[in-house]
Amino acid sequence: MREATSAIISHAITAAIALAGGALGSLIYSRSSEVPPQVRVVDMRRLVEAIARDPTLDEAGRKARTEEVSNAISRLVTEQAARGAIVLDGSAVLRAPDRVYVEAQRHE
């Protein structure tokens, strides 16, 4: 009887260890297979330089366009962050695919 009880306890301990190992492995797999967050890069310097080179704008027009772009980018950053995206300043990005950069688009 004692041997049977010892065998049952041994099997129970083995099953508990296997169950814990399976749960841990499952957790590690789910963490490693999560989709990475979206990343958006805003390069304000590049946007402002494009405005500065626009020959159709005078100084007041450049100032107004810069403010317009800045406000649009601010709204976009707020919106993207609310959706879970990470928004980076372009001057701090060493390298990133072109598709993650936010392009200046004029909406009138």
Q: By residue range, what is the domain housing residue 3?
A: 1-34
pLDDT tens per residue, range 83-99: 888 888 888 888 888 88
Predicted TM-score of the model (pTM): 0.52
pLDDT the model gives residue 77: 85
Whether residue 64 is found in the same domain as residue 88: yes
Whether residue 11 is found in the same domain as residue 64: no
User: For residue 77, how many other CB atoms are within 10 A of its CB?
Assistant: 17
3-state secondary structure of 100: helix
Question: Are the C-beta atoms of 84 and 37 separated by less than 8 Å?
Answer: yes
3-state secondary structure of 19: helix
Number of domains in the chain: 2
Q: Which two tokens stand for residue 65?
A: 């366009």
To the nearest 10°, report the CA torsion of 21, 25, 26, 30: 160
pLDDT tens per residue, range 9-51: 765 676 556 555 665 666 565 555 455 568 888 888 887 888 8
